[in-house]
Structure 1
Amino acid sequence: MVTIYDIAKQANVSAMTVSKVINNTGKISEKTRQRVKKIMEDLNYVPNSMARSLVLQETKMLSLLIPDITNPFFTTVARGAEDAAMRLGYKLLFGNSDENLTKEKEYVDMILSTRVDGVLFSAASDLSGPHLQTLRTHRIPFVLLDRAVPGFDCDAVTGDNREGARRLVEHLLALGHRRIAMVNGSLLVSTARERLTGYKDALKLNDIPPDDELILEMSYKQFADEEALHRLLALPSPPTAVFAGNNFIAVGIIRKLLDMGISVPDQLSVVCFDDLGASVIDPFFTVVSQPAYQFGAMGIQLLIERIKGTTTPEWKKLILPSELIVRNSSAPPNAHAG
């Protein structure tokens, strides 16, 4: 493979001079420029990102670090980020932390070693702060995506979790439900806290005191606690509806309910935050849907603006709206329930 050093040797110039020709930068005589270009053509040389980075101090590589690539929300986020990066002349490296801090740190170390120009970062949890500090210490620009991290004021693209959750619970209240359970993700994740606040807002606005017995905290990755669901349904006054903190939790709940012979929504309504994506042929869940593709695309746009210094010095906070989509998983409470 022909390198810039081969070009430099044949043209009797430095590798830096060749890089300046490739990037059309710096002061070089026209005669030298044309000679280098002629040798590049003769040797069928294709410039690579490393040659460009010698002068521009950039690799045209970005990193996207997300907590769960199997979640349709983040899959669509990744699609939007990749499309935007390619359109703007960048390549995108993907990392999946599995909401695991150790794995997240390994990806941050890899990001440092690959010299990416910036990172679109969806944190595993509130405890991701040291990883962000590492990026900041090494002067690698980053934009937080979907999740906030306490103590870090920075560019961010997030959703209206509190408002979206409030609207979803108000939909259930309008159907006549009064005993509404919430099965949520870890409260070490900002979106879970915000969705819980929205859930409580809706109840309080309708003079319904939140009941701690109806609130479960687990993982966003999937609902697997069948015993917890049994306890919920065995309460003296059981819920007639369940608000799942995300789509994976909702799918897990539905599977457990099917195993238990409980019909949705005839015997129990189930709604959730985030849609299941285009893979669902027959949409079933009533959801608050977020513009996942725009999360990724706008995050990349904001990141590149920060890298290039074309944005304002002040941090930008983009909050994307959500949409309530009513489908078949919610209905008025069964007259015999509770």
Structure 2
Amino acid sequence: MVTIYDIANKANVSAMTVSRVINNTGRVSDKTRAKVKKVMQELNYVPNQMARSLVLQQSKTLFLLITDITNPFYTTLSRGAEDAARKHGYNLLFGNSDENLSKESEYINTILSTRVDGVLLAPAGDPSAAHLERLLERNVPFVLIDREVPGIQSDIVQGDSKEASKKLMEHLLSYGHRNIALVNGSSSISSARDRLQGYNEMLKLHDLSANERYIFETSFGPFKDQSGLMAWLDQLHPFPTAFLAGNNVLAMELLHALRSRGLQVPEDVSVVCFDDFGMYSDLDPFITVAAQQAYQFGYLGMQLLIERITDREEAGPQKKIILPAEIIVRRSVKKLA
């Protein structure tokens, strides 16, 4: 196995100089640095990351914890996070909570036991506060994405869910729809609450009464409530002329449920939703969406995290970045007479 002493002998420098080049510490001339790196390549030297982390008090490893990797929004977000991490020389570990608090807690245990430098995470919901408190107690930097957690002060990158919900509702209302139902995520999730608020505010603005029976609350994550969705549809009277889905996963499940009832979109009923469909958006999409900047969620969130890690004393107060969504009008909404 090649050691730093082998490199030092071949490069005709001290072992301390080789260590400084590997760990990017101390003063080393550009010429010497280039010579040492050339010898490292020639000898196929791979630094011992554990030893390096002890020297630097950093593992150069970050953790990304999201709620549903099958959702194209989080797939694209993950790519943005990875690109930002690699740009700054960090490796990225990954976890998927499925919006399950027990699974999220297990990942927090893993994070605390693996000496990662920081965490970028989409919390499962408000009860995630207990898990985040554990990170704070152990002084592990973290940044939230997509969702706030009451009582937790941290950097965050999130979408303007209320405003995007209002714009989707305005589109439906402008097409003559008045009986509009909402298929949404759990009220324990801040983004779901914001989308519900936008929905209700637009009904009130147009002098329409809110109908609690027109709201179906379920999970944003891997969908397991098809029977519940079908039962809810069966009790709706009058049947809505349009639906707003809280994300793309719910939109797809809603489409399946409507089609099983013999209803076509937009001929029989209209549908709009949050989040586009990733790479599949180029394959003749037809659903009108509030497309969030998924890649920027991950990239900017990782940038904030790395700032916290590299300059904890000077990073300043927590930052909140709110990214607007783009309303992409397609052909899933029928204009009523």
With structure 2 as the length reference, what TM-score do the two structures score?
0.88
User: 1 CA distance for matches of 2:46 and 2:106?
Assistant: 32
What's the counterpart of residue 159 of structure 2?
159
Are 1:266 and 1:331, in contact at CA under 8 Å, matched by a contact in 2? yes
**Alpha-carbon shift at residue 84 of structure 1 (Å):** 1.1
- 2:329 matched to 1:326? yes
**Residues 227 and 69 of structure 1: is their aligned pair in 2 closer, same or farther, counting only changes over 3 Å?**
closer
- Match of 2:22, as an amino acid? I
Give percent identity, aligned residues only.
57
Cα distance per residue 1:92-137 (max 9 Å; x no partner): 1111011111111111111122211111011011111111111111
Please say if 1:268 is aligned against 2:230.
no
Q: Which moved more, 1:311-320 or 1:245-254?
A: 311-320
1:146 shift after superposition: 0.4
Which residue matches 1:70?
70
Letter in 2 for 1:165: S
C-alpha distance in structure 1 between counterparts of 2:67 and 2:232, whole Å: 29
Alpha-carbon offset, residue 48 of structure 1: 3.8
Cα–Cα, structure 1 residues 60 and 205, in superposed 2: closer, same or farther, change >3 Å?
Answer: same
Distance in 2 between the 1:283 and 1:38 partners?
51
Distance 1:57 1:169, change over 3 A: same
**Alpha-carbon offset, residue 3 of structure 1:** 4.9
SS at match of 1:279: helix
Of 199-208 and 15-24, the range deviating more from structure 2? 15-24
Within 5 A, what are the aligned runs for 1:31-70?
44-70=44-70
State how 1:140-159 maps to structure 2 within 5 Å: 140-159=140-159
TM-superposed CA distance for 1:53, in Å, is 1.9
CA RMSD between the two structures? 3.0
Alpha-carbon offset, residue 208 of structure 1: 0.8
Partner of 1:315: 318
Amino acid at match of 1:305: E
- Give the CA deviation at 1:168: 0.4
Name the counterpart of 2:80. 80
1:156-190 Cα offsets, whole Å, 9 max, x none, are: 00000000001101110000000000011111111
- Structure 1 equivalent of residue 290 of structure 2: 288
Q: Which residue of 2 aligns with 1:257?
A: 258
1:225-262 alpha-carbon deviations (Å, 9 max, x no partner): 34544544553322110111111111001011111111
- The answer to whether the 8 A contact 1:166-1:201 is kept is yes
How far the C-alpha of 1:50 sits from its partner, in A, is 2.7
2:95–2:107 contact (8 Å) kept in structure 1: yes
Residue aligning to 1:243: 244
Equivalent in the alignment of 1:299: 301
1:45 to partner: Cα distance: 2.6
The alpha-carbon deviation at position 17 of structure 1 amounts to 8.1
**Alpha-carbon distance change, 57 to 15 in structure 1, aligned in 2, over 3 angstroms:** farther
1:192 counterpart residue number: 192
Q: Given the superposition, is the C-alpha separation of residues 125 and 15 from structure 1 closer, same or farther in structure 2, using an over 3 Å criterion?
A: farther
AA paired with 1:283? P
Normalised TM-score (structure 1): 0.88
Match of 2:119 in 1: 119
Structure 2, unmatched stretches of 5+, are none
Rounded Cα–Cα distance in structure 2 between residues aligned with 1:104 and 1:328 = 38
Task: Report which stretch shifted further, 80-89 or 44-53.
Answer: 44-53
Letter in 2 for 1:300: M
Aligned residues: 330
1:154 and 1:231 map into 2 onto residues whose CA distance is 38
Matches of 1:61 and 1:183, distance apart in 2: 38
Map Cα deviations across residues 57-93 of structure 1 (whole Å, 9 max, x no partner): 1111111000001100000000111111111211111
Q: Distance in 1 between matches of 2:48 and 2:150?
A: 39
